Chains A and B, each alone.
Chain A
């Protein structure tokens, strides 16, 4: 895990649930993560430029004035931040909703029950680790590109001097 705090958005209109999720994540990750809570989809989308690594999103937000359902919000998040991993939360144990969420890019779907906090904590842990590995791999790719470019320039110069002075 990186030294930099990783950002997690929690989006739910149930204040009690939001607080409980936040409490559990803070106990699990301490200073390793920064949690921001939003009670509407609009507030989440307005802050998406902050580049959260993980978003835990309630499927059914009563506070949303435009009455977007969870899939609409998920699609908008993915349009803006394709790298952000989204875990959907719902009080509904409906397989079709879960499948639809996954099809539209959600990483997982958690039913809101007493074990949801533990499950959310484990998922966030896995996602943050995977996110770090992905970032590290991108850093390595960039480094490989720089080394390749230097070798190429050296080769071109080598050929040039070889032709000129031979």
Chain B
């Protein structure tokens, strides 16, 4: 994730490497899965928001919550927890749209960082 002020990425690729225990083939598998499934889950949350299906939003947020920790970005972890909490709790529902939108933007940048890492690994091998 590019930070506009210092040009550094916020995505902590070291975390992904630690979870994969240095196994680059497994890192590629995790990246492929994340890149495919997480944006799809966000689409489900957006569609569910349009249909006022808050249980589905909460359930989807709950499901992807563990894999968001792979990004190493605490703000995204906080956002997905908050989305789950609001959707399942039924209070402050008005916050959901902004939260999902911010989360989507963050994930989009993580996906870019993961894809760059994927290219780097493949070029090294």
Q: Please, which residues of chain B bring their CB within 8 A of the CB of A23?
A: 20-21, 23, 26
| Nearest CB of chain A from residue B5's CB, rounded to whole Å | 27
Number of B interface residues at 8 Å Cβ cutoff, please give it.
20
Give the segment of A95-103, A111-119, A142-150 that binds chain B.
Answer: A111-119
Q: Which residues of A (126-162) have their CB < 8 Å from a CB of B?
A: none
Q: Please, which residues of chain A bring their CB within 8 A of the CB of B67?
A: 14, 16-17
**In the complex, A91 has a CB within 8 A of chain B:** yes
Q: Please, which residues of chain A bring their CB within 8 A of the CB of B34?
A: 16
Report yes or no: A15 in contact with B33, Cβ–Cβ below 8 A. yes
Report yes or no: A91 in contact with B66, Cβ–Cβ below 8 A. yes
**In the complex, A19 has a CB within 8 A of chain B:** yes
Tell me, in angstroms, the Cα distance from A19 to B26 when the chains sit together: 9
Nearest A residue to B18 via CB reads A114
**In the complex, A24 has a CB within 8 A of chain B:** yes
Tell me, in angstroms, the Cα distance from A129 to B81 when the chains sit together: 36
**Do A19 and B20 contact each other (CB < 8 Å), given the known contacts A60-B62, A113-B66?**
no
Q: Please, which residues of chain B bring their CB within 8 A of the CB of A112?
A: 65-66
Q: Can you list 25 contacts pairing A with B, beta carbon distance less than 8 Å? A: A13-B63, A14-B63, A14-B66, A15-B33, A16-B34, A16-B37, A16-B70, A17-B67, A19-B26, A19-B29, A19-B33, A23-B20, A23-B21, A23-B26, A24-B21, A62-B59, A62-B63, A91-B62, A91-B65, A113-B69, A114-B15, A114-B19, A114-B69, A116-B66, A117-B19
- Interface residues of A, Cβ cutoff 8 Å to B: 13-17, 19-20, 23-24, 27, 60, 62, 91-92, 112-114, 116-117
- Interface residues of B, Cβ cutoff 8 Å to A: 15, 18-21, 23, 26, 29-30, 33-34, 37, 59, 62-63, 65-67, 69-70
